[in-house]
A = this chain, B = another copy of it.
Amino acid sequence: MLGIPNPPRPILTLTSDFGLADTYVAAMKAAILRFAPEAMLVDITHEIPPQDVVAASFAVERALDAFAPGTIHLAVVDPGVGTQRRILVVEMHRQLVVCPDNGLITWAWRRLRKGKAHKLDWRPKTSSNTFHGRDIMAPSAAMLAAGRALREIASPIRDPILLEIRPARPPVRIGRIIHVDHFGNATTNVPRDALPKTVRISVKNQPLGPLKRTYSDVPAGQPLALIGSAYLLEIAVRNGSAAKNLSLKVGDPVRIFGASD
């Protein structure tokens, strides 16, 4: 692995659309622990909406941003399981991501840049046709966590599948909501760095004025625009749900007005 350190207790994260009611997440963990018994397992989330590759894409970028070099990320949202779709191993931020080649890597690829993509060549002797997360991807991620060289199980490729989602670039007039969180805060695809110093924001024809610094800068129940913890433009309601109060959902536009508008 080019410059990727091997910590004594490797961290391996898991992201999926499996939910927590079934035993599928545990099945992947069992497979991992057979190959990497010393691994530290951390769940990113397993509540990605079923088959929502785009939502998983945002979660994986957050995981890459948060964790230290050497971390291995396993992300399984895999509607094409059992077909000939490739499986990726992507080097990025001195970490590795193992995931299906279905666009799941897109947001990290475009926001964090400098990814190096590989296709996974390793396959087990036998595997199910419906759970490659358990039978192929988890063992591969675990082998990498246990120190196996990437080149032994994967080969470089130049064309991972990428979806039509990308961080906004200046000058930004319209952003798009890409995620609505548990609190009802709506995150957009507009990075802090893509905004001019002076802006006014509006959403659903409701003017929110200039960016605020934090939620408490407006009275309880009032909407605001601010830079969220992912350093993206976010729409929120103090002590409330912007998604509910303003009827916001993924894909909705957010308008940005500069000083001269």
Q: Which residues of A contact B (CB under 8 A)?
A: 7, 9, 11, 13, 18-27, 29-31, 33-34, 37-38, 40-47, 50-51, 59, 62-63, 66-68, 79-83, 128-131, 134, 179, 181-183, 213-217, 226-229, 231, 234, 239
Contacts and interface: CB of A to CB of B under 8 A. Distances in A.
A23 B63 contact: yes
B62 A130 contact: no
A139 to B, nearest CB: 12
Given A21-B47, A37-B7, A30 B67 contact: yes
Given A23-B44, A182-B50, A226 B62 contact: no
A63 B47 CA distance: 21
Nearest to A229: B131
Contacts of A226: 129-130
Contacts of A67: 30, 33
Contact of A82 (B7, B22, B216): B216
A59 B23 contact: yes
Q: How many copies does the complex hold?
A: 3
Contacts of A234: 130
A220 to B, nearest CB: 9
A23 B79 CA distance: 22
A77 to B, nearest CB: 11
A21 B52 CA distance: 13
19 contacts: A13-B26, A20-B45, A21-B45, A23-B44, A24-B181, A27-B229, A29-B42, A30-B63, A30-B68, A33-B42, A50-B182, A51-B239, A81-B214, A81-B215, A83-B216, A129-B214, A130-B226, A130-B228, A134-B229
A201 to B, nearest CB: 16
Given A13-B26, A22-B179, A130-B228, 14 more contacts: A27-B66, A34-B68, A50-B183, A66-B134, A79-B215, A81-B214, A81-B216, A128-B227, A128-B229, A128-B231, A129-B226, A130-B215, A130-B227, A130-B234
Contacts of A13: 26
A11 B27 contact: no
B182 A229 contact: no
Contact of A26 (B25, B43, B179): B43
A65 to B, nearest CB: 8
Contacts of A228: 128, 130-131
